[in-house]
Amino acid sequence: MGAAALRIRLAALRNTLATKLPSRVLLPTLSRCYSSLLDGRKLGVLMNIMKDHISQMETEQLSFHQSELTAFFLTALDFRAGHSSEVEGGVIECLMTMVMKLSEFTFRPLFFKLCDWSTAGGPERRLTFFRLCDVMACCLKRLFVLFAPQLVKPLADVLRQTSGSDDLPFQSLEKNCLLLQLDLDCLQKIFLYDSRCFLNRERADALLSPLVGQLENHLGGEQVYQQRVTQHLLPCLGQFSVALADDSLWKTLNYQVLLKTRHSDSKVRPPTLRVTALASRLKENYVVLLPETIPFLAELMEDECEEVQQQVQRVVQEMEKILGQPLQSYF
């Protein structure tokens, strides 16, 4: 038998196992097989069978077996901690097949068990949990925001821990950078799908300073820093400003960002000048922030760093384009 024919027969066998065996037979069998299939490629096959089976389960079946499935996934999500991260995406994809079939009521106990699981082990669990939360926020959108208050403290804690060298969660620089990136991406999605029910003043205060502090966090080196600011931090700060929807909170955020333009490290000032990310999100609402913004821009026009001077000229031009009016009268 050729390799192609063998693959076809194996795929057919996998489909038969996933769709023909009843849950009371298949689920315990897959759970027992887990420990003997910890090789990444083998575990990937097991997850595919589980995913295909869950996708065709009726709501009543899923509800009946939810506790059993939850226990299985809590074990499987430890794959990164116990072995490697190679198949973590497959485990999360399989879990999301179940999550997308749950109601708000049935999702709630699963989410809180995942929260408890993430804090009961080492930092590897937190890395997996934040990756999972980022995926759940993307898929569940506003439904996930209802559960986001539970995440404010752990997300803020990671922002603070990764800002210094004394309290980093991992010895691995790469893992610390990944954890921070997942943190920012998850927050950006929470802010994006917030419909004025999540970001109250208390939560905004808890997140504002740690977020703005990331403008001077060079974790991972200069290249990683520039990439993180452009692709993750600025989109997060921009969406944060929209979700605030409050003049006083906008002013606090804007002022804290502007203070970073006076940072002694010239490498911090140009990225911070991309405050236009806030202007582009707030659009005409940014006008109320101009009186406090202009003095900082005027100061930066005389900066000793030529790159900063060039950047501030571009910023003024971009802001004029966004706001639809010349800014010369403000200087």
Using the Cα atoms of residue 325, residue 272, residue 277 and residue 282 in order, give the sign of their dihedral.
negative
CA distance 76 to 65: 16
- 177-212: pLDDT as tens digits: 999 999 999 999 999 999 878 999 999 999 999 999
Assess if residue 72 is contained within a domain. Answer: yes
Q: Of 9-23, 93-107, 272-286, where does mean pLDDT reach its minimum?
A: 272-286
Assess if residue 124 is contained within a domain. Answer: no
Residue bearing the bigger pLDDT, 195 or 128 = 128
40: pLDDT confidence band, cut at 50, 70 and 90? low
Q: What are phi and psi of 87, to 5 degrees?
A: -105, 10
pTM for this model (two decimals): 0.90
CA distance 290 to 178: 35
Assess if residue 85 is contained within a domain. Answer: yes
Radius of gyration of the chain (CA): 24
Assess if residue 71 is contained within a domain. Answer: yes
Assess if residue 88 is contained within a domain. Answer: yes
25: exposed, middle or buried (Cβ count in 10 Å: 0-12, 13-18, 19+): exposed
Assess if residue 41 is contained within a domain. Answer: yes
Domain count across the chain: 1
Assess if residue 9 is contained within a domain. Answer: no
Q: Which of 72-76, 112-116, 278-282, 324-328 has the highest mean pLDDT?
A: 112-116
Assess if residue 207 is contained within a domain. Answer: no
Q: Which domain holds residue 30?
A: 14-102
